[in-house]
Structure 1
Amino acid sequence: MIQVKDLKKVYGGVIVVNIPQLEITKGESIGLVGNNGAGKTTLFRIILDLIRPDTGQVKSNGELVAGGENWKNYTGAYLDEGFLIDYLTPEEYFYFIGGLHQLSRAHVDDFLGRYTEFFNGEILKRGKYIRDLSKGNQAKVGIVSCLLQNPELFMLDEPFANIDPTTQFRLKNLIREQTANGATTIVSSHDLNHITDVCDRILLMEKGKIIKDLATNSSTLDELEHYFAIGQTDTPAVELNIDPEENH
């Protein structure tokens, strides 16, 4: 579904994304992990055509995302509160998003009824603008607005931050449901437990490069925890079970 080739982005002389090749197939559940500055959010923004790479390209279902339009119809993404319209109430925002996808207010209301537990009485009918919500509740609005679009590609950047443990548990179930329904999900997180719990494939980024590409199994969490515990850097690709010929 997503094809990345010869992708590079440079800021101030520093290479922040450097991915020669990456393919994500339809229906995969991808977890993206790495320390701050690893390039995760920059990669997300390139995939969503929010910023342009210096070289290389990203395709979604065979279409170049740069300048393309069709991929937007099946992509739901929430990276941060900047994706929201903060002077609207949550209800107004949901109706706005629904209208973009030709959904009636009645349809939107029926849809929102499925997320009563996820909202936990903190979102709807509170008389608040989105800007007055906590960051965690803003994230709830952003995440559910993505689901309202019934996305084939579902992307979340650090969705477990700023939300309470109960909501984290419910969010994991929502992500699993999307995968079970055939959506391709790409989720970044600093929480290794959550990301290995909901994703079937883990991509580890460091200094803009994908240095590990792991199928999630019983030892994946231990392997990632060991990596971050020792502060491993600049490790040769062969030691990380990555084929150098495939990535250069």
Structure 2
Amino acid sequence: MIEIKNLKKVYAGATVVNVPALTINKGESIGLVGNNGAGKTTLFRMILDLIRPDEGEVLSNGKNVAGAEEWKDYTASYLDEGFLIDYLTPEEYFYFIGGLHHQNKPQVDEYLAGLTEFFNGEVLKKGKYIRDLSKGNQCKVGVGSCLLQKPQLLMLDEPFANIDPSTQFRLKNILKTENKNNGVTTIVSSHDLNHVTDVCDRILLMEKGRIIKDIATSSSTLNELEEYFGVGQTVTPGIIIDKEENH
């Protein structure tokens, strides 16, 4: 579904993303992990054509995202509150997003009713603008708007960071259901190794702009990642990706 070729992004002489090759197949659940500054968000933004690479390309279903529009119809993403229209109420925002995807208000209301537990009574019918919601509740609005679109590709950047434990649990179940039951390709970045290994079947470890490990999730993956980050390894130039198949 997603194919990356010779992708590079440089800021102020420093290479922040350098991914020679990466393929994400349809229906995969991908976790992207790495320390701050590893290049995760920059990679996300290039996949979504929010910033342009200095070299290389990102293909979505075989077409360069920089020159095509079709991928936008089946892709939903939430990276931060900047993706929201903060002067709307959550309801107004959901109706706006639904309208873009040919859904009327009753259809939107019906879908949102299925997210009642996820919203936990803190999002709808509160009479608040999105800008006045907490970071966690803004995240719920962002994730909810993604799900409303019924995407084939779902991309979330640090979705567990600002939400409470109960909502984290519910979000993990939603992501698993979307992937396993509906065949949605999911790409989730997170600093929480427990969550990402629980939700994702494949983990990409990113350091200094490079993907240095590509791991099929197994019972030992969490320990492996905890050991890696605990030791505080660094990447040396020209390191080869360690791809482990644990199916």
TM tier relative to shorter chain: over 0.9
| Alpha-carbon offset, residue 241 of structure 1 | 2.9
Match of 1:110 in 2: 110
Aligned to 1:89: 89
> What is residue 160 of structure 2 aligned with on the other side?
160
Please tell me whether residue 77 in structure 1 is matched to residue 77 in structure 2.
yes
In the alignment, is the contact (CA less than 8 A) between 2:208 and 2:235 conserved in 1? Answer: no
RMSD over aligned CA atoms reads 1.2
The residue that corresponds to 2:218 in the other structure is 217
Aligned residue-pair number: 242
SS of residue matched to 1:123: coil
Name the residue aligned to 2:195: 194
Query: How far apart, in 1, do the equivalents of 2:18 and 2:219 lie?
Result: 29
Distance 1:206 1:139, change over 3 A: same
C-alpha distance in 2 between matches for 1:105 and 1:234: 51
Report the counterpart of residue 185 of structure 2 in structure 1.
184
Residues 1:61 and 2:61 are matched in the alignment:
yes
Amino acid at match of 2:145: S
Q: 2:114 is paired with a residue of what secondary structure?
A: helix
Unaligned runs of 5+ in 2: none
Change (3 A) 1:179 1:242: closer
Does the 8 A contact of 2:215 with 2:243 survive in 1? no
Shift, 1:234, TM fit: 2.1
Q: Deviation per CA, 1:112-144, whole angstroms, max 9, x where unpaired?
A: 000111111100000000000000000000001
What is the rounded CA distance, in whole Å, between the counterparts of 1:234 and 1:87 in structure 2?
43
Post-superposition offset of 1:63:
1.0
Measure, in 2, the Cα distance between the counterparts of 1:9 and 1:201.
24
Deviations 1:169-205 (A, max 9, x none): 0000010011011010000000000000000000000
How far apart are 1:237 and its partner, in Å? 3.8
Partner of 1:146: 146
In the alignment, the residues of structure 1 paired with residue 12 and residue 239 of structure 2 have an alpha-carbon distance, to the nearest angstrom, of 26
* Structure 2: distance between partners of 1:141 and 1:67: 29
Partner amino acid for 1:6?
N
Gaps (5+ residues) in structure 1? 244-248
Aligned residue in 2 for 1:246: none
Give distance in 2, aligned partners of 1:208 and 1:177.
31
Moved over 6 A (4+): none
TM-score relative to the length of structure 1 = 0.96
Instruction: Name the structure where helix makes up a greater proportion of residues.
Output: 1
1:242 Cα deviation from its structure 2 partner: 4.5
Give the TM-score, by structure 2 length. Answer: 0.96
